[in-house]
Homo-oligomer: A and B are copies of this chain.
Amino acid sequence: MEPKFQELKKKLSEVSAINSAAAVLSWDQQVYMPPGGAEARGAAISTLEELGHVKFTAPETGKLIDETYAWAQGLGEDSFEASYLRAARRDYDKAVKLPAEFVGEFSRATSAAIDAWAKARANSDFKAFAPHLQKILDLNLRKAQIYGYKASPYDALLDLYEPGATKAMLEPIFKKLTEGLKPIIKEINARAGSVSNDIVKGDFDEQAQLALVNEIAGAIGYDFTRGRQDRSAHPFTTDFSVNDVRITTRTHRDYLPAAIYGSIHEAGHALYGQGTPKNFDFTPLAGGASLGVHESQSRFWENIVGRSLPFCRWLLPLLRKHFPGKFDKINAEELYVAVNRSAPSMIRVESDEVNYNLHIMLRFEIETALLEGKLKVADAPAFWNARMRDYFGITPAKDAEGILQDIHWSLGAMGYFPTYTLGNLISAQLAEKMNKDIPGWKNMPEKGDFAPILAWLRKHIHSQGRKYLPEQLLKRELGEGLKVEPFLHYIKDKYSKIYGF
């Protein structure tokens, strides 16, 4: 059976090479490509995606999977071969449902939409983006029909990002979370004036910001010999291979945390990618268990580590080094409070960890309404703005800081946003488990000692790649499935101290 398995591996490694190439083209498109290149780039990416899809879904792939599946499972559930075949079969069964011309059409639509979105956001012109959003919505509905679903088309899409999750499963989780957060937010807002972040506002040279975030990413363990950090409109992480995992960040000249925490967030994702075992590279086992689990890594580093007091104690001398004179009169406690200021925000990626999940709630509602035909694209900005008022008591002055703020829809992704909240929940579960496994881990960042934390994540999460489904992975490594309580407990404990309630 071994030769057939090798044949399958060769085939899927070629598919991975094609996908890796498409990822490079997409990275370049978002980071360095001149505007004139967009049209041909769209065609090139579409061609690669179609080629990869055709090659992956060829009947011989299915045949090789069928022929080797039982043999591989016989080698033990946790073996490389058994895990490889489980992941390959999952992906194949999904992919084989999508006709090649649909994949091509989807890819052309998103290529055009990315460009249109960037322009629409720059001009705050939702109408210019609306036809693209409509097209993306229609294609997602067709996609949901192709995959099939029971209760809502949303379920078919959600499952692509968080295998096993459904709208019906999410609703009670969101409810519990929202109800747990509400009283906390109320307490915070009642003391809104007591915490300021003025000390992280001002005029920060952008080259110095880039030097700072490169230093921070390197310190927490991001390997620059196997990656690089650039700038893009929306920060992202992309894996070309285990040994080339790239991140991007953005800089706001007048607001330092955007670059710092954007960068730590992406580095958190990238540590997962760089931690993939070498023999998983260019196989279906490379990558994260799910987007939720992936997000648990970025949020863990960004918030639970990066916004802790010990981390701020380590960070302060770095700020003084990169911005001479600006932080001389600040102490670490003041920095800690400033980077944890909680207040309603227009922009999801700039939102604090308390309010953040309400941004996801809004997107969850708008996407389900669009997909279930309860909301028209033309009415979406009004829906968005109404929810902003309901949840946060604020209204976007323009769509650029409202419905046009996220790149996800133009990338074709609907049903993706909930994974952010799942990531927040899991990150708090990871921290609770670390409390048991690594005595004193929370104080280690103070001395720049991130290695034991990374080693724990490498062992329990990164090294598993896509061997297990998310719920399975959590149960194996944490001894429990998804839970809301650790996150609520973490938030309440932290913010009651900061805001004094």
A25 within 8 A of B: yes
Q: Which residue, A14, A37, A241, A242, has most C-beta atoms of chain B within 10 A?
A: A37
Q: Is the CB of A37 within 8 A of B282?
A: no
State A486–B330 Cα separation when bound (angstroms). Answer: 72
Partner of A43, one of B17, B33, B228: B17
A36 within 8 A of B: yes
Task: Using known A-B contacts A25-B24, A28-B24, A282-B43, determine if residue A244 contacts B36 with beta carbons closer than 8 Å.
Answer: yes
Q: Is the CB of A39 within 8 A of B228?
A: no
Chain B residues in 8 Å Cβ range of A36 = 223, 225-227, 243-244
Chain B residues in 8 Å Cβ range of A47 = 14, 17-18, 21
A456 within 8 A of B: no
Q: Is the CB of B34 within 8 A of A244?
A: yes
CB distance from A477 to the nearest CB of B (A): 27
Interface size on A, residues (CB 8 A): 40
CB-nearest residue of chain B to A223: B36
Q: Which residue, A13, A24, A228, has most C-beta atoms of chain B within 10 A?
A: A24
CB-nearest residue of chain B to A32: B228
CB-nearest residue of chain B to A47: B17
A residues 207-243 near B (Cβ < 8 Å) are: 223-228, 230, 240-243
A206 within 8 A of B: no
A395 within 8 A of B: no
CB distance from A58 to the nearest CB of B (A): 13
State A416–B46 Cα separation when bound (angstroms). Answer: 33
A44 within 8 A of B: yes
A20 within 8 A of B: yes
A159 within 8 A of B: no
Chain B residues in 8 Å Cβ range of A43 = 13, 17, 282
Q: Is the CB of B282 within 8 A of A34?
A: no
Chain B residues in 8 Å Cβ range of A32 = 32, 228, 230
Chain B residues in 8 Å Cβ range of A244 = 33-34, 36-37, 40-41
CB-nearest residue of chain B to A246: B34
CB-nearest residue of chain B to A227: B34
State A309–B1 Cα separation when bound (angstroms). Answer: 74
State A281–B13 Cα separation when bound (angstroms). Answer: 30
Q: Is the CB of A226 within 8 A of B40?
A: no
A498 within 8 A of B: no
CB-nearest residue of chain B to A15: B47
Chain B residues in 8 Å Cβ range of A34 = 224-228, 243-244
Q: Which residue, A48, A225, A228, A282, has most C-beta atoms of chain B within 10 A?
A: A48
Chain B residues in 8 Å Cβ range of A18 = 44, 47-48, 51
A35 within 8 A of B: yes
CB distance from A48 to the nearest CB of B (A): 6
CB distance from A51 to the nearest CB of B (A): 7
Q: Is the CB of B21 within 8 A of A243?
A: no
Q: Which residue, A36, A226, A227, has most C-beta atoms of chain B within 10 A?
A: A36
Chain B residues in 8 Å Cβ range of A28 = 24, 28
A residues 329-349 near B (Cβ < 8 Å) are: none
State A13–B24 Cα separation when bound (angstroms). Answer: 20
Chain B residues in 8 Å Cβ range of A44 = 17-18, 20-21, 24, 240-241
Task: Using known A-B contacts A18-B47, A25-B21, A51-B18, determine if residue A40 contacts B243 with beta carbons closer than 8 Å.
Answer: yes
CB distance from A152 to the nearest CB of B (A): 37
CB distance from A102 to the nearest CB of B (A): 17
CB distance from A101 to the nearest CB of B (A): 13
CB-nearest residue of chain B to A13: B43
CB-nearest residue of chain B to A50: B14
CB distance from A87 to the nearest CB of B (A): 19
State A242–B41 Cα separation when bound (angstroms). Answer: 11
CB distance from A491 to the nearest CB of B (A): 37
* Between-chain CB contacts (< 8 Å), 21 pairs: A14-B47, A17-B40, A18-B51, A21-B21, A21-B22, A21-B24, A21-B48, A28-B28, A33-B244, A34-B227, A34-B228, A35-B225, A36-B223, A36-B226, A36-B227, A37-B226, A37-B241, A40-B241, A40-B243, A41-B244, A44-B241
Given contacts A20-B40, A41-B244, 18 further A-B contacts (CB under 8 A): A17-B46, A17-B47, A18-B44, A18-B51, A21-B44, A21-B45, A21-B47, A24-B28, A28-B28, A36-B225, A36-B226, A37-B241, A39-B241, A40-B241, A40-B244, A40-B281, A44-B240, A51-B51
The 5 A-B pairs with the shortest beta carbon distances in the complex, nearest first, are A40-B241, A37-B244, A36-B226, A36-B243, A17-B47
List chain A positions with a Cβ less than 8 A from chain B.
13-14, 17-18, 20-22, 24-25, 28, 32-37, 39-41, 43-48, 51, 223-228, 230, 240-244, 281-282
